Structure formats: C-alpha cells, structure tokens
C-alpha cells in the first residue's frame, strides 16, 4: 500500500477462503468472501507464498467463526466454511451483490476484472482495424515514392528511367559475364543453374548490393543465365510488349559459336520464346502460341542486323 493511503480492513469472521483461478488471468489467485458478501482477490507471484497466506487466512477465518457474532440487526449469523460451500443454513439471507476488491500483496495494485480485460482487448482490436482500413494502398505508397519497385518484377520502362539507361544494369552485367565465359559452355541458356543460388543472386540484386559476377560463388555460368531468364520472366509486361504479340505472329506466318555450345538459332528461340513474350490474355492456345513465340525469336535472331540496323553507322 502507498504511504498515507487508505487501509482495507477485511472482516474474516465467517469468511470463505477459496482458490479462484478462473476469476483472473494472473496466477496463484484466491478469493476472500466476507459474511457481508464482499469479495477480495489476493495474488502472489510465488505459489508457496500464496499458499502460506491462504492457509494463514483460512485458519484465522475458521478460528474467528467459532466466536459468537451478531449482525448489526442482531440476527444470528451462520458462518460458512470453504470446505462446505453449499451447506449453508437455509435461513441465511442471499448475499447482496456488492463490489469485488482485488488486492495484490506485493504490487499493491488492484487486479483487473475479466470484463475490463475484455474491453481492453476489444479496444485494441478496434484500433488495429481502423489502422488497417486507413493504411494506404501499395499503389499510393509507390506514387508518393515511399516504396519503389525492386529490380525483379519491376516494369522495364520504370527500371530504365530509374537507372537512366536503356538497358538495365543487371541485364548488362549478366550479358557481359555470359559472353566472357559462357559461349563455349555446352547447353548455355538451356541448362538450369542451382535454384537456391539463383535466388541468392536475385536477393542481392533486389537489395541493390554490390554485385561482382566474376566472384567464385557465381562461377557456374548457368546460375547467371538462370537469373537473367528469371528477370525477363517476372517482368509485369514482357520485353516484347503485349501490343506487339499479334503483329509478330502475323509476320512469322508470311551463329558464330554454335559449333561449340551446340545451341542453334532455333534452340535459342525455343528457350527464349516463352520467356521474352506472351499474350496479355491466354485464350487457351498455349501450345499454338508457344510455337509462334519460338519462331518469332528465331526470326528476330536471324534478321537481327536488318531489324536493329546493326550494319548502319
């Protein structure tokens, strides 16, 4: 109790002492119910301490009950014992509903009632609900610049504008590494690298960590090609935009190192067709579209000099 604070006096004569674990979320809680109907909850962190208090208070209550006691209205009082809570006299008046006091023997703060706990929980739930409702959308956060797209899964135009280039730096790093040490590797682009290593590379790129593809952990060139293909595969809109898919399909209707890497122009078209372009809406013609995708990429590779004016100065 605080110094100078009001002292609670509990009349133990005729009181009932009982353990009440269901009346509080705290541990080692027992209740004193006086002959006037007042209820007090007592609690201690240690069970042994609480048990000593329980036994001591119960003995005091039992010994006090043996003494004659009269109420203020001079009517006889029939003491009730904790061991026989249901054997009270039939003439005993029903307890008047009174407030319940809670005493913590060591903290001196009153225990919260279950109703109060429930109200607090509901209050927290309501605040969380309001917070979630007021939370801005991902699009709003991106428009305000609070969240920016990562490299993987970012729109190609957005990424290039952010980097101030026409080719994403990660794509350029991959192409340089592949041309440097992958052109003589059997099945380049076709063979898949270790997926966990590819994901590790992706994580580093998205976190904008310094990247050196000549490091020993990226010595398997198939990991680099796998990450490059994953980058194109996860673009929101493919490298060949949706609006160009059908024109290319109509157009397709009208290698210097291939002896070493065993990848013909047709083979590269098969690998990169579904990776670099796909229709915005799949009408169920996946197999037919895949043929067109492969042929379009093969055609572009064959006619790349004319398409991209590579011979012009």
- State the average pLDDT for the chain: 78
Contact assessment for residue 83 and residue 16, using Cβ atoms and an 8 Å cutoff: no
Q: At a CB cut-off of 8 Å and minimum separation 6, what does 106 contact?
A: 44, 45
Contact assessment for residue 47 and residue 55, using Cβ atoms and an 8 Å cutoff: no
214 and 284: one domain?
no
Q: What is the dihedral of CA 233, 235, 236, 238, to 10 degrees?
A: -70
**Which pLDDT score is estimated for 181?**
92
Total tally of structural domains belonging to the chain = 3
Which of residues 204, 233, 262 is at a domain's end?
233
10, part of any domain: no
216 vs 253, higher pLDDT: 216
Contact assessment for residue 73 and residue 35, using Cβ atoms and an 8 Å cutoff: no
308 vs 210, higher pLDDT: 210
CATH assignment of the domain containing 20: 2.30.29
Which of residues 58, 87, 111 is at a domain's end?
111
Q: What are phi and psi of 154, to 5 degrees?
A: -90, 145
265 and 288: one domain?
yes
Checking if the pLDDT of 258 tops 80, the result is: no
**Which pLDDT score is estimated for 23?**
79
**Which pLDDT score is estimated for 66?**
62
142, part of any domain: no
- pLDDT category at 73 given cuts 50, 70, 90 is very low
């Amino acid at each position: 109790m605080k110094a100078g604070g009001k002292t609670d006096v509990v009349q133990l004569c005729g009181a009932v002492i009982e353990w009440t674990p269901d009346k509080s979320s705290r541990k080692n809680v027992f209740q004193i119910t006086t002959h006037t109907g007042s209820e007090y909850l007592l609690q201690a962190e240690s069970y042994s301490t609480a048990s000593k208090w329980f036994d001591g208070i119960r003995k005091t209550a039992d010994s006090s009950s043996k003494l004659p006691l009269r109420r203020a209205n001079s009517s006889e009082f029939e003491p009730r014992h904790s061991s026989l809570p249901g054997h009270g006299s039939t003439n005993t008046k029903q307890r008047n509903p009174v407030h319940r006091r809670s005493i913590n023997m060591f903290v001196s703060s009153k225990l919260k009632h279950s109703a109060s706990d429930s109200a607090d929980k509901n209050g927290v739930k309501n605040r969380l609900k309001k917070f979630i409702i007021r939370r801005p959308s991902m699009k709003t956060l991106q428009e305000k610049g609070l969240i920016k797209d990562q490299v993987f899964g970012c729109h190609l135009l957005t990424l290039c504008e952010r980097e101030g280039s026409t080719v994403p730096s990660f794509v350029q790093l991959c192409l340089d590494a592949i041309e440097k040490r992958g052109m003589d590797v059997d099945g380049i682009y076709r063979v898949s690298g270790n997926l966990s290593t590819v994901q590790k590379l992706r994580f580093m790129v998205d976190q904008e960590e310094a990247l050196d593809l000549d490091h020993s952990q990226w010595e398997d060139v198939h990991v680099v090609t796998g990450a490059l293909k994953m980058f194109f595969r996860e673009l929101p809109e493919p490298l060949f935009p949706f609006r160009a898919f059908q024109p290319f399909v109509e157009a397709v209707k009208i290698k210097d190192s291939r002896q070493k890497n065993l990848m013909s122009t047709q083979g590269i078209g098969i690998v990169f067709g579904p990776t670099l372009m796909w229709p915005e809406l799949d009408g169920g013609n996946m197999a037919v579209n895949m043929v067109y995708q492969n042929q379009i990429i093969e055609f572009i590779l064959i006619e790349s000099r004319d398409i991209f004016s590579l011979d012009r100065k």
